[in-house]
Chains A and B, each alone.
Chain A
């Protein structure tokens, strides 16, 4: 019997990254900014999306794909504001591109939403600061939320998540008087891993910062339309291997 070594040297995620890149291109052409929202559980992703939809009040066409391990609670909260589809991961800790594609198909089948005519598509990821960081969901911008009760040391503890995010949104700032947390320290920690990080702070209870957050999104969409947006999660990625490599399919 003979043995033979087949050299591959390809990232295992190449195929899903290729699909994600293709989808991102499709959304760019349609003028839809895809926003991947990440945080630990309970940091306020759903609340911020509710506040965003309320603030815009129909000014922009938006839809949400919301990932959840098992329940549809987040989807039900968002349903009064905009078209929303649930992506149930069945216990898995993150979303992958094929779940997103399925969600988009379901969105297209609804009567109230045309996913080809959106200004913003939000993907609310599973609450987790680790695994979702490694999966490209066709987003143009990646936003990580950090609530003030989590502690200002988190960016350095979850470097992949913060390294690959374009913006950090500090949430629940109405609690700042009660917790040992300063936005400046958290920003400093985040910028050690991602020096170009945009830092915003919001309280959806008082409404403070919501308008600035919405302007940030609008500005990101403008940059995307102008072809001037460089997603941070693609910065460190090596260029795809040339075609014809062993495992290409």
Chain B
């Protein structure tokens, strides 16, 4: 399938995340990712898998659509997300959900970049910061049970690389000179914003 590009990076230790909920009855999410309303209706799918990554992806793509409209984007290049080891999100399934849903958005050529991060915690008693290994949530210095995770619980939308037609709006790099006529780009951005409003 063309246009569905994604990559996974792992920072700190190699990530072995939690498994998915597995195979559930044949179904698939049909809610429009553009609304960001998450799971509202479920239909059937030949792949026969429905996992919560599908509804998280719908929420993610909804947020990206709103951002793109807000910033009068003419397209989306890249969506970068961070998956913590305790986030309960499985990168492989997130990639599948992306490939499934992104063709139904207005930025079907966007890339998904997934950065996996390890699990870090801080001790509420002695203040020591440590890497949580083997999901053992005890302070490695004082053995206290009162520890709080500082990194690794999140499923973050880190950033979105958008394409814009307006030169004065640009902060990022200039990509190439195949610039569309200004009016066209703007009207596309506006029509996105209108569709967003109509969907609410």
Contacts and interface: CB of A to CB of B under 8 A. Distances in A.
A89 interface: yes
B38 interface: yes
A92 B30 CA distance: 12
B146 to A, nearest CB: 8
A96 B27 CA distance: 17
Contacts of B77: 3
A163 interface: yes
Contacts of A135: 52
A94 to B, nearest CB: 5
Interface in A83-97: 89-94, 96
Nearest to A102: B40
Which bucket holds chain A's interface residue count? 35 or more
Interface residues of B, number: 74
B86 A13 contact: no
A61 interface: no
Contacts of A247: 63, 66-67, 157
A178 interface: no
A128 to B, nearest CB: 5
B81 A12 contact: yes
B156 A10 contact: yes
Interface of A: 1-13, 15-16, 69-70, 89-94, 96, 98, 128, 130-131, 133-135, 156, 158-160, 163, 191-196, 235-238, 246-247, 249
A91 B145 contact: no
Contacts of A11: 154-157
Contacts of A9: 156-159
- Main secondary structure, interface of B, reads loop
Given A1-B175, A91-B24, A159-B18, A12 B60 contact: yes
Interface of B: 18-22, 24-27, 29, 36-42, 50-52, 54-56, 59-60, 63, 66-67, 70-71, 74, 77, 81, 86-89, 134-138, 145-146, 148-150, 153-167, 169-176, 178-180, 185
Given A93-B50, A247-B63, A4 B169 contact: yes
B21 A6 contact: no
Contact of A238 (B29, B60, B153, B161): B153
Given A4-B164, A8-B159, A89-B42, A131 B138 contact: no
Contacts of A195: 137-138, 145
Nearest to B152: A236
B107 to A, nearest CB: 13
29 contacts: A1-B163, A1-B185, A2-B175, A3-B161, A3-B164, A3-B170, A5-B159, A8-B157, A8-B159, A10-B156, A12-B156, A12-B157, A13-B59, A91-B25, A91-B26, A92-B52, A93-B50, A130-B19, A130-B22, A131-B51, A134-B52, A163-B135, A163-B137, A195-B137, A196-B145, A235-B149, A236-B153, A247-B66, A247-B67
